[in-house]
Homo-oligomer: A and B are copies of this chain.
């Protein structure tokens, strides 16, 4: 190997980069190797430091946070310190003379349709999404052949601790979807879903389950995509493409992915043992897929994203007709769908919060059994969705468990 590269690696790994002394700042846990920046202090302020010796202007762009000019230092680095930020993982980019790029000190996370930077701001006392000294499940990359898309598709599967050893055991499955601009890596890389499940399972707060994280973009085999240049978001052409993506995804999940998972993993295959949830775009997809296939799913979660089920111009859900009429009879619905769950962060943009709150209000009024959760002080970001999963996962597959216990007691 190149000796100079090795030397600089050793230097980086040894953590001797020239960090400025300053209060309680520590390198973010989301940094690469031992990169000293970005760093976070005890007040949740984030300091960004970015090398751009010849730039005229460098800005930092937190996607759900500060957007500000950075300050040039004598050594060619630009710095900026944020005000205290909410806990969680915050996507950001740096804009160097008009070029929006990632910070090389950060781990790359797939978001905004590119590999972006993010900084982890710890939440005081919150350990539920951190790797603990408990048994760890595996996260498996799989490739399945989809007749729907005509391609090999990549997905991730969390298998709980003990899956390989308990070879007679079968497990329920949660299908868990990422948001728009993200991909199937989001729930483990950004969301730490595997650690959340590890910790819940170790504490016996959630049943051991598989979590399948699929890629949310699907294009039907042979389907041509129209030229969308110049077409607006609400244009019929754009709506058609989105609708096609949605139904291709629906068919891929129900006709290719679920059969593959049930054939290749030791799953419990009835609807009592299958859940689906997703965040943002993934929440919309979850509602679309599950309500079209209630024969397959019993547990449904929308994290900062649910259904566009309101009639045009209306603020209220028509629970008699919405979702193919699944809720028309609240008692029958409660029996059929063991969990209907919505969540939203209290500092998410007004438009997003309102959509979910109105759905909640409509369901309350019609006495449709559901759970509504608000994540205090978090935005349309991963801390909201980690909390959602932490609240959602323990509620899963309990009805089936109670049934099994009841059945066992009868014998």
What is the interface of chain A, defined by CB distance below 8 A to chain B?
A: 1-16, 18, 32-33, 50-58, 76, 94, 96-102, 104-108, 110, 112-115, 131, 133, 136, 138-143, 145, 152, 164-165, 167, 179-181, 188, 194, 217, 219, 225-229, 232-233, 238, 241-242, 245, 264-265, 280-281, 284, 304-305, 349, 352, 380
Contact = CB atoms under 8 A, between A and B. Distances in A.
Contacts of A7: 232-233, 238
A164 B18 CA distance: 48
Given A10-B228, A106-B115, 15 more contacts: A1-B284, A3-B233, A8-B113, A9-B113, A13-B219, A51-B98, A53-B98, A55-B55, A58-B99, A100-B104, A104-B114, A108-B115, A131-B152, A136-B142, A140-B140
A181 B152 CA distance: 31
A72 B318 CA distance: 55
A138 B159 CA distance: 12
B98 A55 contact: yes
Q: Which of A57, A102, A304 counts the most B-chain CB atoms under 10 A from its CB?
A: A102
B99 A55 contact: yes
Contact of A104 (B11, B51, B102, B141): B102
Contacts of A241: 10, 14
A232 B194 CA distance: 42
Contacts of A16: 225, 227-229
Contacts of A8: 113
Contacts of A133: 145, 152
B101 A99 contact: yes
9 contacts: A1-B304, A3-B233, A5-B180, A32-B110, A32-B114, A52-B97, A53-B99, A54-B97, A105-B114
Identical chains bound together, number: 2
A319 B287 CA distance: 68
A284 B12 CA distance: 19
A4 B186 CA distance: 20
B51 A99 contact: yes
Contact of A115 (B5, B98, B104): B104
A1 B238 contact: no
A245 B13 contact: yes
A54 B99 CA distance: 8
Residue from A1, A33, A94 whose CB has the most chain B CB atoms within 10 Å: A1
Residue among A8, A164, A264, A284 facing the most chain B CB atoms (10 A cut-off) = A164
Among A14, A108, A194, A227: residue with most chain B CB under 10 A: A14
Given A8-B113, A113-B9, A140 B139 contact: yes
A110 to B, nearest CB: 8
A232 B7 CA distance: 8
B98 A76 contact: yes
A32 B96 contact: no
Q: Which of A6, A245, A284 has the most B CB atoms < 10 Å from its CB? A: A6
Contacts of A280: 1
Nearest to A151: B131
Contacts of A54: 56-57, 97-98
Contacts of A98: 51-55, 76
A32 B113 contact: yes
A99 B76 CA distance: 9
A1 B305 contact: yes
